[in-house]
Amino acid sequence: MQRREFLKSSAAVLLGAGLLPLSEVLPAAAAANDTIVVATGATINSLDLHRQGTNRASYQVAINAYDRLVKFGTKTMPDGSLSYDSTKIEPDLAESWTVSDDGKVITFKLRPNAVFSDGSPVTAQDVKWSLDRAVSLGGFPTTQMKAGLMEKPEQFEVVDDKTIKVILPRKSKLTLPDLAVPIPFIINSKVAKAHATEKDPWATEYLHRNTAGSGAFVVERWDPGQQVVYARNDKWTSGPLPGAKRVIMREIPSAATRRALIERGDVDLVFNIPDKDANELKASGKAKVVSTPIENCIYVLALNDKFGPFKDKRVRQAIAYALPYEDIFKTAAYQTGVPMWGADKAEGIAWPQPSPYKQDLEKAKALLAEAGYKDGLTVPLYINLDLASWMEPTALLIQESLAKIGVKTTIEKIPGANWRTAANVERRLEMHLDDFGGWLNYPDYYFFWTYMPGTIFNSSNYDNPEMVKLVNETLDLSVDDPAYAPNIKKMIDIAFEDVPRVPLWQPALSSAMTPKISGYEFWFHRQPDARKLTKS
């Protein structure tokens, strides 16, 4: 798609959504104090995070409807807003745990009063079945568990109804925090097994459409492409009961419509608003805006190593030198976030940090010619429609700039519900924008996901044996190990030299809410957490 058609189609979609009557995009319950209505632009495609192809928007279900053994703590940011705290691990379903002297066995004691939403007790057998499922179904969940050295069902041992052991091949700094991410959520195995079949022993079809957890909410209704309705689980014992009896997550694709709704007070909160709207709403005072930097996250242009020309790192470097970084940051990010380009040299092991690339069209042309592409090349550029607010303007600027070095691009748009399959499962997108953020706040964890062959977020299909060796050696090291910092530095150097992912900027996540809403908390998984939200 070329620029003129692209802008025309985007405007038509925006206008069409904007013309919808508010009564058709909102429930009448929006005004009730015991109901909170959240507008989001992302589409939930499953209620089961373990299901292959489940997209990021769906992660929220695992947070709101399920518990884990442990959880991250909360901290207050300088602006007074709440954020998760990556340095604190706290009890959730487990009331306590002990770690063996060699760090290879973690024993968890479950809270005696923990029950599922149907009133049945949470047992160690439920925990084992759930963790067995997470390491067995494959795809993203299984790889995520592997990051914490949890790979086989044999590693989860039931001691008694309220005690379970996690047995590790070696000590790792990532195991406990890995048990606090959305993936290892605890399922009511009795309910799941009742809906399992010989062909579907893990009840993926049932849990795709239903929840069976002990979390703060149950999914009362799911209308794919429209909304998820959470009803408070009054049997929840992992924290204070939520202030809202019902939370309605409405999917509204148009950013303009979402902004109009919050300005008029027709919704209570708009989650993850575009940077432009965040800046303008702050200035106007029409809504309360919370903006939080996203740790361990970079917006990038990903170059797929399976695409012929991109097999040559000189071509990838040429693309990196051709990008209009300043214009992208001004136009797509509205200068919100941290620039990730133009560094003179790598600065220690901080991550993310700016790359050495900056726009130099002559250098880009020379590299293309050296690689045998003097006359240029043609490649599609893919974007995720759920993230159109920053991906659309970024893609247009990249398209215009690459044309100056003879690289012709067509912009292809993929619906958010299909993005994970195309980009991360099939890994078939030749050139695409990406927004991966590492859940565990370590540089080696980021490189594990995005630079290791076979991992789901390595959408560039990048494979460098030296990087593989460094990542494998470093994941288990504590940060004060003498080898840790030198290894991280080498990873950063290789990433910038080979540049399969061209860094653009480190983003912030912004949400807008009415003055009546409190308890909003930012989380690393970048999905709305309804548990602490209250409405006065």
259-292 tens-digit pLDDT:
999 999 999 999 999 999 999 999 999 999 999 9
Q: How confident is the model at residue 10, as a pLDDT?
A: 39
Q: Could you tell me the pLDDT band of residue 313, with boundaries at 50, 70 and 90?
A: very high
What is the C-alpha end-to-end distance of the chain, expressed in Å? 47
**What is the average pLDDT across 124-129?**
98
Q: Give yes or no for residue 161 having a pLDDT over 90.
A: yes
Q: Is the pLDDT of residue 464 over 70?
A: yes
Render pLDDT for 232-257 as a digit per residue (tens, 0 to 9): 999 999 999 999 999 999 999 999 99
Give start-end residues of each CATH 3.90.76.10 domain in the chain.
67-73+84-190
Contact assessment for residue 264 and residue 308, using Cβ atoms and an 8 Å cutoff: no
How many Å apart are CA 164 and CA 143, to the nearest integer?
Answer: 22
Kindly report, as residue ranges, where domains of CATH 3.10.105.10 are found in the chain: 299-506
Q: How confident is the model at residue 14 (pLDDT cuts 50, 70, 90)?
A: very low
Which one is predicted more confidently, 4 or 507?
507
CATH of domain 67-73+84-190: 3.90.76.10
Which one, of 382, 415, 528, 456, lies nearest residue 43 by Cα? 415
Span 496-505, pLDDT tens digits: 999 999 999 9
Residues of the chain with CATH 3.40.190.10: 24-63+215-293+509-535
Averaged pLDDT for residues 208-225: 97
State the pLDDT at residue 22: 46
46 CB-near residues (< 8 Å, 6+ apart)? 53, 54, 55, 58, 61, 208
Across residues 371-376, what is the average pLDDT? Answer: 96
Q: What pLDDT shows up at residue 9?
A: 40
Q: Is the pLDDT of residue 15 over 50?
A: no
% residues pLDDT > 90 (the chain) = 90
| 240 prior amide bond cis, ω within 30 | no
Q: Specify the residue for token string 């022993």.
A: 201
Q: For 406-437, how does the pLDDT look when each residue is reduced to its tens digit (9 = 90+)? A: 999 999 999 998 999 999 999 999 999 999 99
If phi > 0 it is left, if psi is from -120 to 50 it is alpha, else beta; for residue 53 that is: left
User: How much is the pLDDT for 32?
Assistant: 74
* Statement: residue 11 has pLDDT above 80: no
Has residue 65 got a pLDDT over 80?
yes
pLDDT at residue 30, rounded to an integer: 53
Per-residue burial over 480-509, b = 16 or more CB atoms within 10 Å of its CB, e = otherwise: eeeebbebbbbbbebbbebbbbbbbbbbbb
Convert the pLDDT of each residue in 20-50 to its tens digit: 444 444 544 455 789 999 999 999 999 999 9
**Tokens of residue 117, six digits:** 């939403």
Pick the CATH number of 24-63+215-293+509-535 from 3.40.630.30, 3.40.50.720, 3.40.190.10, 3.10.129.10: 3.40.190.10
Mean pLDDT of the chain: 93
Quote the pLDDT of residue 31: 58
The listed CATH number (3.40.50.300, 3.30.1700.10, 3.30.565.10, 3.10.105.10) that belongs to domain 299-506: 3.10.105.10
Contact criterion met (CB below 8 Å) for 185 and 210: no
